[in-house]
Structure 1
Amino acid sequence: MQSIVRLMTIVAALLALMPAAPVLAADVGFEQVAIPNGAEPPLAAGIWYPTTAPATPHALGDLTQTIAPDAPIAGRHLPLVVLSHGGAGWYGGHYDTALALARAGFVAAALSHAGDTFDDQSRVLQLWRRPAQLHRLVDYMLDDWHGHEQLDAARVGAFGFSNGGFTALVAAGGIPDLATIAPFCEAHPDHDLCEALRHANVDVHSGAQVPAGAWVHDPRIEAVVIAAPSFGFAFGRAGLSGVRAPVQLWSAADDRHQPHPWYDEPVRDGLPRAPAWHVVDNAGHYDFLPPCDARLARRRPQICDSKPGFDRAAFHERFNAAVVQFFEAVLRQH
């Protein structure tokens, strides 16, 4: 009898150490946090996570999401995905993807990249700041967040769109050459990316002044999803040789903001391991952002309008499902 009890105790201890199966949450909890950022003001961030508390509609900036604010966290050994928004965005920019991840049993954390948000473009070409901030977000989630003991530090993924895709690539080991931006924009002044920098009075030569040791990588990131990465031409094979994590890469077939083949394709072709490559027919650059309601569409038509016949809402159902499936498949191995 004692041997059976001892065996059951050992089995219970082993089960406690094993990663838990994904939690299919009935609802999603959400909280906003301020993350210490050295001598600079704290970074604003949002965190979505599985919960059993009932969710109700709540405002998120100009958006509405169905969440349970500051609810208890459901589950243990939960995988973490950090999200990096595009240029002039904010932490709520991919809230629908964060909700989908949380419903599938992930904790999704996104931050607003100081210096490259909708209300502050003062450091838009100091691109090295972004992966450093993302690294700080991972540190906070694994060490300081009140729910950190319910996370699995061995299962961390990163999601990024546009400038956020660039950020995720660097975080995963990429090293870009920002000195390529000025000659590129001289050769392609009609590109929206280059026009946006010019209209913002950003000196495209300033990006070449990269401080020593500025590119911060995060070896804890084990899986990466990237949509329409900006500055893809700045990497090359050598610059991407350090990216070892599996990558799912999304491209909008009708991306007029970052025209083909200078952004997505150099990343696809330069990665040491071929990514899971998805081309979305009839989609534009901003179709990777969530569908807009009528009010936001009136205020921001440049990011809300899709081509005739493209159903952004239906696409996001498929897109979010594929993102969740990829992270589940890769991070389950760890």
Structure 2
Amino acid sequence: MMKALTAFVAVTVLTQATPAGASVGFETASAPVPGDKPLAVTIWYPAAAPERPTPLGLYTQSVATGAPVVGHGHPLIVISHGTGGSNADHYDTARALAAAGFIVAAPTHTGDTVGDRSRSLRITERPAQLSRVIDYMTHDWRGRDAVDAGKVGAFGFSSGGFTVLGAIGGEPDMALAVRHCAEHPHFFDCALQRQFGAASQTSNPTPPAPVEHDPRIKAAVAAAPALGFTFAPGGLAKVTVPVQLWRAEWDTVLPQPYYAQVVHDLLPKAEYHVVPAADHFDFMAPCSAALAKAVPMICADNIDRAAFHKTFNAAVVRFFEKTLR
């Protein structure tokens, strides 16, 4: 399998074009949400200032913090992390996009982060949060004049993959989760339901929020999307934008054929990648020593994650170059 991965990398790796002297700028911001807490947003963008090693969660990234945004007409990519995740989970993909001339904004989803799981089951609220970030980046962010509001893409992993599929027109049937968990009680999403469901139950439980669609999103990447089965049989019929779909061959968190495979069956024209020997968390940034020590489960790789991410990030950049430029 390692030989297969090596071949996969060799065949598909792309050279990422970066203008001479270009660097990646970085900052954090707060996007207002009417009637709710503001969203913490992490932003990467094209810059021309020296980069320095900068902590981000349990990682260290090379960025030019607070540097001016250079250029104009940059497409915007919003990133949605997985359940219980953080703004650092896909920092390397964000840097690759920013180095290629995109502006990238990653919200930390309220109530579904590593430090706050109070809304982990309210997944249908997440697409609306992406829309609030797009509002902020195109109307209120200090660099808004550098954003091309007509060229917006979305990237999501796991629950974030579900999020972007909803944002581009997907209509999930959340009632299907009851049958799914009756048949597969030991699956990760069903364990999550048991872990956080009891605390959220009341005599009059709140129904799932309607999924908010955002026609400003013109292309989407979904890596190992969660709850793919909730879109069957016709929940993705309204999706018309280009989609790049990724699946880990040996995904032990969201196993075949209930998640990414369902999405592929419903979107047969999507650009589809199956990563040999990979597991679920291989779509997250290569682990730092600190992360491997803190959460070893996320870092137990069957593949060379750093080598894979050279391919993965280049393919994501290529897809958005093709669909948004």
TM-score, normalization: structure 1?
0.88
2:87 is aligned, of 87, 91, 94, to 91
Q: Is the 8 A contact 1:30 1:70 kept in 2?
A: yes
Q: Is the 8 A contact 2:121 2:196 kept in 1?
A: no
Match of 1:5 in 2: none
CA 1:269–1:204 in structure 2 vs 1: closer, same or farther (change >3 Å)?
farther
The 5 A counterparts of 1:221-240 are 221-240=217-236
2:270 is aligned, of 254, 272, 275, to 275
Match of 1:316 in 2: 309
Tell whether 2:193 aligns with 1:197: yes
SS in 1 for 2:225: coil
1:255 is aligned, of 248, 251, 260, to 251
1:327 is aligned, of 316, 320, 323, to 320
Q: Is the 8 A contact 1:23 1:75 kept in 2?
A: no
Match of 2:295 in 1: 300
Task: Please tell me the root mean square deviation across aligned C-alpha atoms, in Å.
Answer: 1.8
Tell whether 2:204 aligns with 1:209: no
Tell whether 2:142 aligns with 1:146: yes
Whole-Å Cα distance in 1 between the matches of residues 49 and 198 of structure 2? 46
Structure 2: gaps (5+ residues) = 1-16
Whole-Å Cα distance in 2 between the matches of residues 205 and 191 of structure 1? 21
CA 1:202–1:281 in structure 2 vs 1: closer, same or farther (change >3 Å)?
farther
The 5 A counterparts of 1:1-334 are 24=19, 26-202=22-198, 209-211=207-209, 214-271=210-267, 274-307=269-302, 310-332=303-325
Q: Is the 8 A contact 2:121 2:197 kept in 1?
A: no
Q: CA deviation at 1:237?
A: 3.8
Q: Is the 8 A contact 2:120 2:196 kept in 1?
A: no
Q: Is the 8 A contact 2:53 2:63 kept in 1?
A: yes
Whole-Å Cα distance in 1 between the matches of residues 254 and 115 of structure 2? 22
Q: CA deviation at 1:215?
A: 1.4
| Misfit runs of 4+, over 4 Å | 201-208
Q: Which has the larger radius of gyration?
A: 1
CA 1:105–1:202 in structure 2 vs 1: closer, same or farther (change >3 Å)?
farther
Give per-residue Cα distances to partners, 1:304-329, cap 9 Å, x unaligned. Answer: 1112xx10000001000000000000
Whole-Å Cα distance in 1 between the matches of residues 265 and 200 of structure 2? 25
Whole-Å Cα distance in 2 between the matches of residues 204 and 187 of structure 1? 22
Q: CA deviation at 1:193?
A: 2.2
Whole-Å Cα distance in 2 between the matches of residues 144 and 221 of structure 1? 18
Higher RCO structure (Cα 8 Å, ≥6 apart): 2
What amino acid sits opposite 2:196 in the alignment? A
Q: Is the 8 A contact 2:31 2:133 kept in 1?
A: yes
Whole-Å Cα distance in 1 between the matches of residues 186 and 176 of structure 2? 16
What amino acid sits opposite 2:306 in the alignment? A
Point out the more displaced range, 120-129 or 228-237: 120-129
Q: CA deviation at 1:196?
A: 2.9
Q: CA deviation at 1:40?
A: 2.0
Aligned residues with identical type, % of pairs: 49
Size of the aligned set, in residue pairs, is 306
